Amino acid sequence: MIAFSHVRVRYPRSRVPALDDVSLEAPRGTVTAVVGPNGSGKSTLVRALVGRVPLEAGAIAVDGAAAATLARSVLARRVAIVTQREEPAFPLSVREYVALGRYPHLGLWRAPAAADADAIASALERTGVAPYVDRAVTELSGGEWQRVRLARAVAQGGESLVLDEPTTFLDVGHEMAVFELLARLASDGQAVLLVSHQLNLVARFAHRLVLLHRGCVVAEGTPAEVMRGDVLERVYDWPLVVTRDPAVGAPALVPLRAPPRG
Amino acid sequence: MTPLRWATLVAALLLAALAGVMLGTLRLAPLDVVRGALGQGAPIDVAVVRTLRLPRVVLAALVGAGLGAAGAALQGATRNGLAEPYLLGVSGGAAVGAVCAVALHAPAALVPIAGFAGALGAVVLTLVVARAAGGRGDARVVLMAGVVVGAFANAAIMVALANAQDNVVRGALWWMMGSVSDASWPQVRMAAVYVAIGIGVLLALARAIDVLALGEDTAAGLGIDVGRVSMIVYVAAALLAAGTVAAAGLVGFIGLLVPHLVRMAGARTHRVIIAAAALAGAALVVAADLVARTARPPAELPLGAVTAIIGVPFFLARLRRLT
């Protein structure tokens, strides 16, 4: 489980904290989604977890241990991260790229063992990227690349998976495939913490939602509890209604057109 | 990379080295080269092989290996195919040191040492500037700091040379164009030590460089201390480059060109890229020095000019493929 407890983060030369008194939990076996408008601090949560920005106050715990006290490799063995943006700089093959997910287990020197090969093969299979393992990552479509990034994180083999906007730029089919995969990983016992702008999709897949606004948690609970029209309208500063998804009954947000001028 | 491509690289280096010892004003047969290296055969052959050509070829190979490996590691760690070992102010700092030594009429033996000291000073200055700007491990900040220090060094060189005597300008320029014509065994031994240590450090970090090449946030998520590991790579590569400066002055394009060549040949992970770049860099500099020495005898072309002549068409071809 990943637990943020009263976390405050402030970027250098900024007077306003990017995160202020943020507490949330992502238990195993569930999908927890962090939503909120641009600049609400969602990605900062992920950067704080891996120590890319220091905490001004509060603590982050992974399976009960303070993340700050864990060695980087130990933290990486427990939590796998898929960051918001990652452009392949050089043409590794899909297999070589996914194999880098084993770095926290191998370090600089250890030769890959059977367990590493098994973890890589399993990740390739579970994410459906096995058919193109020999292709260069620079030649993949956006959907294939996102799946391959997920495969690398799954190969990392931790109990928790943190993803920052994993479906940006994906079409509906690829988007659904990624969400289905995350739901499967959660049902297999992983803690999935997801940062997303896709409110209607996370309402269908996530067990819990955390709504951030200007660095603070403004609502937390089940999708039905969090996705209330008055709250979302205030946070997103746009007229909208929340209705029910006719297919599955999950809350669904419908943004309205701006009122006519004059 | 396939075993055949490794064998081709090794064969290219051995062939270039053999040609480097055989060819010149005095042409030697392959057997004479072997006899000369063993101290047998005609005394003139022994002297040419053991005192003149062999140390020159070995020094050229070491310089090429160092520049190739340093370029490969820097391009990976910065995720930038235009990164090269003379970034981080190495070339500018080395030139300032050498120009100062020439302008102060220091003995010729002190010029490379001054170049080395200048390169080290510039690297330290670059890293201090990057740290002060808050970007200890941030590749963009470190590269920009290197550009700033390099630009300042160039300005200092222009000021120093603007009013210098002709012979000072010529001496400084010649050194900046790179050469291994003064190679000696003590120089080879010194170069071998720092090239072996530098390449050893970079090979040890190769797997971490693979991860760094995925981007800083992803690397942090995979357990890398991005600031610390990047800094070790920068320092090792810059020291390697500064070491080659002490041996041969500035030999441009090798550190930039060779990593592209080995990636095109199929090298993908940095343990392979760095090792292959060391071999390819060695072969290229040995071949370039052979051209520099034999193209217009008895005069010599500057080694750096020959490597640039090789590099420019390659990058033009790459540019055509990109557009």
Q: Of A73, A85, A100, which to mutate for an interface test with B (greatest number of B Cβ within 10 Å)?
A: A100
pLDDT of residue B136: 61
pLDDT of residue B240: 87
Q: What is the pLDDT along chain A (262 residues), one digit of tens a residue?
A: 999 999 999 998 888 999 999 999 999 999 999 999 999 999 999 999 988 899 999 999 999 899 989 999 999 999 999 998 888 888 899 999 999 999 999 988 888 999 999 999 999 998 889 999 999 998 998 888 999 999 999 999 889 999 999 888 788 888 898 899 999 999 999 999 999 988 999 999 999 999 999 999 999 999 999 999 999 999 999 989 999 988 888 899 999 988 777 6
Q: Do A89 and B211 touch (CB under 8 A)?
A: no
| Domain total of chain B | 1
Q: Which amino acid is at A248?
A: V
Q: Indicate whether B69 belongs to any domain.
A: yes
Partners of residue A34 on adjacent β-strands: A195, A210
Residue B250 belongs to domain with CATH number: 1.10.3470.10
Q: Do A104 and B217 touch (CB under 8 A)?
A: no
pLDDT of residue A185: 92
pLDDT of residue B137: 63
Q: Indicate whether B283 belongs to any domain.
A: yes
Q: Which residues of chain B register pLDDT less than 70?
A: 135-137, 321-323
**Domains (ranges, CATH) in chain A?**
2-227 (3.40.50.300)
Q: CB-based burial of residue A220 (10 Å sphere; 0-12 exposed, 13-18 middle, 19+ buried)?
A: middle
pLDDT of residue B323: 57
| Range of the structural domain that residue B192 is part of | 58-322
Among B residues 194-253, those touching chain A with beta carbons less than 8 Å apart: 204-205, 207-208, 210-211, 213-218, 220-226
Q: Indicate whether B17 belongs to any domain.
A: no
The secondary structure of A146-199 as a DSSP string is HHHHHHHHHHH--SEEEEESTTTT--HHHHHHHHHHHHHHHHTT-EEEEE-S-H
Model ipTM?
0.88
Peptide bond into A17 cis (omega under 30): no
Q: Indicate whether B44 belongs to any domain.
A: no
Chain A touched by B10 (CB under 8 Å): no
Among B residues 41-100, those touching chain A with beta carbons less than 8 Å apart: 76, 79-81
The CB-based long-range contact list for B103-111 (8 Å cut-off, 24+ gap) reads: B103/B160, B103/B161, B103/B164, B103/B168, B103/B172, B111/B171, B111/B175
Q: Are A50 and B220 contacting, i.e. CB atoms less than 8 angstroms apart? A: yes
Model-wide pTM > 0.90:
no
Q: Of B214, B216, B225, which to mutate for an interface test with A (greatest number of A Cβ within 10 Å)?
A: B214
pLDDT of residue B262: 94
Q: Indicate whether B305 belongs to any domain.
A: yes
Nearest to A178 by CA among A196, A160, A158: A196
